[in-house]
Homo-oligomer: A and B are copies of this chain.
Amino acid sequence: MFPKTIAWKDNRVVILDQRRLPDEEVYVECQSASAVTEAIKTMAIRGAPAIGIAAAMGIALGALGIGKKNFTPFYQELSSICKTLKAARPTAINLRWALERMKGVCEANKEKGVEAVKGLLVNEALAILAEDIETNKRIGEQGKDLIHANDTILTHCNAGALATGGYGTALGVIRRAWEDRKGITVIATETRPLLQGARLTAWELTREGIPVTLIADNMAGYLMQQGEINLCIVGADRIASNGDVANKIGTYTLAILAKEHGIPFYVAAPLSTFDRGAKTGAEIPIEEREASEVSTLWGRCLAPQGIKVRNPAFDVTPHRYVSAIITEKGIVKPPFEKRLKQITGKDGG
């Protein structure tokens, strides 16, 4: 069974602390929206869908903590909490999507009174979690025919149970192929600087017995050249209307490599990851994180002290490198724009 990334328990948000995997399975208990914001910022929880769920639960927690009896001051305070949460990480659109959904619950139910709204917000956060797991299973179902018997599948970072409510997006498709006994093997790129591939994907797959081999990020080209990779599947942090995909730094490079070697490059993502407001990837903000994430590991410097560093956490893969996007509503192939518009029409972010 896949790990429990996030749960709501006795009016607390319990988060599996991904910074400490694979060494320890430790949980962070958040009792306030600001504790959830901190968990998102410091990447105790990460992955676009998981961040969305955490944000929704953070809002629910925040709502419970507001003393105001009248809706207007209550909603003012809640909006301020939303704003702080929204700024926690700029690239993953699911964060904004979840916050807008939670605000929608407030607005649709304001005449029911603050206490009722609080209960509805908790229910909505729980619904977002439950739906996300179902969505991922549907993504797995939709994508299953893209995986053939004995395929070796390259994945980057972690788009697994740990990046979602459970089951995973890219790893959801992989899980489904494994359940279908297709004899697959996964190649996990370690994903510097924070090693989500080595620490999280390898851990998540290993504990379910799915064969996984770890490589450094710069080895993917070599394995493709040797004919050892059949396809790539990654997740996404935000997808623009034209199909450009923002995802973990290094994704763009893998997509170019895949194209150069004639290997399919698939993106698996729920509709909550689509940003209909962004025409192209150029409009997606790329978070640049602290230098120390690159220059140190476990508190120790791996380069000369004071070294200058660049640390973009994401990159944008132009749609021309993407073979197909696997959503819970079906597989979208190029040309993306029209089909994505249809599919995201009702439920898209």
Contact = CB atoms under 8 A, between A and B. Distances in A.
Given A214-B309, A294-B190, A252 B225 contact: yes
Nearest to A195: B302
Interface in A134-163: none
A304 B222 contact: no
A316 B206 CA distance: 31
Interface stretch (A29-37, A106-114, A253-261): A253-261
A295 interface: yes
B297 A250 contact: no
Main secondary structure of the interface of A (DSSP, over half): mixed
B192 A315 contact: no
Interface stretch (A5-13, A38-46, A196-204, A330-338): A196-204
A220 interface: yes
A223 interface: yes
Interface residues of A, number: 54
Contact of A202 (B211, B225, B252, B303): B303
A188 to B, nearest CB: 8
A174 to B, nearest CB: 16
Given A303-B190, A303-B214, A304-B206, A315 B222 contact: yes
Nearest to A222: B315
A219 B190 CA distance: 13
Contacts of A346: none
B302 A221 contact: no
Given A253-B253, A302-B190, A295 B214 contact: yes
Contacts of A301: 22-23
A38 B6 CA distance: 49
Contact of A199 (B192, B213, B222, B302): B302
A256 to B, nearest CB: 5
Contacts of A221: 250, 252-253, 256, 315
Contact of A302 (B198, B211, B315): B198
B225 A315 contact: yes
A309 B252 contact: no
B253 A202 contact: no
B217 A304 contact: no
Nearest to A300: B298
Given A221-B250, A225-B252, A216 B192 contact: yes
A240 interface: no
A95 interface: no
Contacts of A187: 310
Contact of A214 (B22, B257, B308): B308
Contacts of A206: 304, 307
A295 B197 CA distance: 11
5 contacts: A213-B309, A217-B250, A219-B249, A260-B260, A297-B297
